[in-house]
Amino acid sequence: MKSLIVDKKFNNKKLSTFLFYSFPNLSINSFYKALRKKDLRINNVKVNSDVVLHTSDCISVYISDNALYHNFNLDIVYQDDNILLINKPSNIEVTGNNSLTSHIHLAYSSSNFKPMPCHRLDRNTTGMVLFAKNEESLNILLDKFKNREIEKHYLALVYGIPPKYYDKLEAYLFKDNKKSIVYISNRPKSGYKKIITSYTILQKNDNNSCLLDVQIETGRTHQIRAHLAYIGYPIIGDGKYGLNDINKKFGARTQRLCNYKIKFNFLTDSKHLNYLNGKEFAIDCNWTK
């Protein structure tokens, strides 16, 4: 049995919407079979229809793991006694139910300390996620990310070609939690937080697209996707901030955004992790092949 609490963004949404989001591997047939068998409960009351949920409802799910969870092998980029680098696929959260972290905890169930993520990526952003394999390493790495002593480089395929080879963009971002979307402004506003996004053009393509290396100094929700769309260069495949006609033209069902490179640039003592200083790890993004 799996127990879930309804987040406020799913208030007044259907049970099916919540469960398909929480368990991307769940099929429509399995969902309706669970309703017929009364294998779903809301606040400990069995339900047999696709009812509307409310914030803080407790959902009990009596469906087999095979029907609920992704079946994939962890793509390990690098690991040692202190860190674990995983190449995250699309359509899975870093934390939460049926997340990358929960799969890693299953894989390392015999470890005294189950690996914990040091940063996050959006659900549909692919690429490297850094996990710490002990508590001391976790505390050090969280501090290094906070002080920008670890670089994350994103590869983004955008529609359009910016006029500048390199640019450092500054704007302001507002997060609408109810709609699960962010808005960008070029001037300060109440509730908006400053964002800084830098890009370098890596490759220009004949189909009016280009590959960008993107870095962010501020890690806000959907920052890269929203900021690039705001300046007129949406990420191809982005269903929220992109252009549907363009996404269809390129046959892109998921956003072409990947955390493809991580660099360790420690400026202060890192104790037992000093051996990482100067190291760089990079991967190929599947959609560039």
Catalytic residue selected from 122, 238, 245, 284: 122
CA 261/CA 129 separation, integer angstroms: 10
Question: Cα–Cα distance between 257 and 127 in angstroms, integer?
Answer: 8
Q: Which of 78, 43, 80 is nearest to 60 (CA)?
A: 43
Q: β-strand 150-159 against 209-216: which pairing, if any?
A: antiparallel
Helix (H), strand (E) at residue 18: helix 15-22
Counting DSSP H helices and E strands in the chain, the numbers are 7, 15
- Kindly state the DSSP code that residue 52 receives in the 8-state scheme: B
Annotated active-site residue 80? The verdict is no
3-state secondary structure of 19: helix
Query: What is the DSSP annotation of 91-155?
Result: S--SSSTT-HHHHHHHHTTTSSS--EESS---TT-EEEEEEESSHHHHHHHHHHHHTT-EEEEEE
Q: Is 108 within 8 Å of 86 (Cβ atoms)?
A: no
What are the Cα distances from residue 74, in Å, to 77, 97, 109, 262? 9, 17, 14, 18
Residues forming the active site = 122
